Structure 1
Amino acid sequence: MARTRRPVVTGWFTDDRVPEAEFRLLGTRCTACASVFFPRADDGCRNPRCPGGGELTEVPLSPRGRVWSYTDGRYRPPAPYVSDPDAPWEPYTLVAVELAAEAMVVLGQAAPGVTPADLDIGTEVELVPGVLNEDDEHIWTTWNWRPVTPREREERS
């Protein structure tokens, strides 16, 4: 039986089957004050200084940013995080990434294989599709952050 790919949280990122260069987190922007929110705000602007009356429109967020902070998770998180208690625990890396254009910091896991030793404050990273968990019926998709290589940085310039 083929497993269905499902986002961990619907509406927070584009379908992970788009080309990697087009994969984006999805936020909302208030048309009254231009504030951008992630996770998305669908019930009203969360900016206390907003003059009000604006609509919230979906916007793709920047695909690259700079490491604002990072740490490693050396513990098995509690439910609802899915973890096989019989499997050896593998630490994971959490990254807080500053998106300059949106003036916000977004938290996420680093791509598989990226450790704190691969990161520094200010390291340029890019958003990539990821898999959080797999079961018999689903592949649960999410986002990850991966350091931009010097070659990728040159190609961008």
Structure 2
Amino acid sequence: MTRTRTPVVSGWFTGEGDAFRLLGTRCSACTSVFFPREDASCRNPGCGGGDLEEVPLSPRGRVWSYTDGRYRPPSPYVSDPELPWEPRTLIAVELAAERLVVLGQAVPGVTVADLTVGMEVEVVPGVLSEDAETTWTTWHWQPTGARG
């Protein structure tokens, strides 16, 4: 049986492989970029507002901070309580061009021992979880040059 690939949050990312990008929005008045995307109004308190346009975010950034999640997060995070919890490496990545920090998980196998503040990482497609019918897709951060 083939599982349906479904984004965990619709409209936050697009593409596959090298064309994979996180999607944000940019205000036409103040040029602020937002992630997660904003579709209603500019979140910049100093802006009178403008039209918001969807923009792909930079595919690479630098590690701003990182940690490991050693506990199962509470609801609404979905995880199978019958399976043992595996720690997740969480990374905050600074996107210089957009002047913002985006959070996400590291690719499986990357631990805090593999990371340093300031190192370059790239966004890649990832899987958050799977059930009998669905593969829930997301994004992961991967150190550059780590692809096989």
Identify the residue that residue 90 of structure 1 maps to in structure 2.
86
Identify the residue that residue 32 of structure 1 maps to in structure 2.
29
Identify the residue that residue 61 of structure 1 maps to in structure 2.
57
Q: Distance in 1 between matches of 2:98 and 2:84?
A: 39
Q: Distance in 1 between matches of 2:107 and 2:147?
A: 18
Identity of aligned residues (%): 73
Q: Distance in 1 between matches of 2:103 and 2:131?
A: 25
Q: How does 1:75-154 map to 2 (within 5 A)?
A: 75-149=71-145
Identify the residue that residue 10 of structure 1 maps to in structure 2.
10
2:101 maps to amino acid = V
- Please state how far the C-alpha of 1:149 moved relative to its aligned partner: 2.4
Q: Which runs of 4+ in 1 moved over 3 A?
A: none
Structure ranking higher in strand proportion: 2
- Please state how far the C-alpha of 1:150 moved relative to its aligned partner: 8.1
Does 2:55 match 1:48? no
- Please state how far the C-alpha of 1:104 moved relative to its aligned partner: 0.2
- Please state how far the C-alpha of 1:86 moved relative to its aligned partner: 2.1
Q: Distance in 2 between matches of 1:10 and 1:83?
A: 20
Q: Distance in 1 between matches of 2:2 and 2:107?
A: 25
What TM-score, normalized by structure 1, do the two folds share?
A: 0.90
Structure ranking higher in helix proportion: 1
Q: Distance in 2 between matches of 1:21 and 1:55?
A: 29
- Aligned-residue CA RMSD in angstroms? 1.6
- Stretches of structure 2 that go unaligned for 5 or more consecutive residues are none
Q: Distance in 2 between matches of 1:66 and 1:124?
A: 4
Identify the residue that residue 155 of structure 1 maps to in structure 2.
none
What TM-score, normalized by structure 2, do the two folds share?
A: 0.95
- Please state how far the C-alpha of 1:134 moved relative to its aligned partner: 0.4
C-alpha spacing 1:150/1:131, structure 2 compared with 1 (3 Å):
closer
C-alpha spacing 1:151/1:42, structure 2 compared with 1 (3 Å):
closer
SS at match of 1:10: coil
SS at match of 1:105: strand
- The count of corresponding residues between Structure 1 and Structure 2 is 148
SS at match of 2:13: coil
- Stretches of structure 1 that go unaligned for 5 or more consecutive residues are 153-157
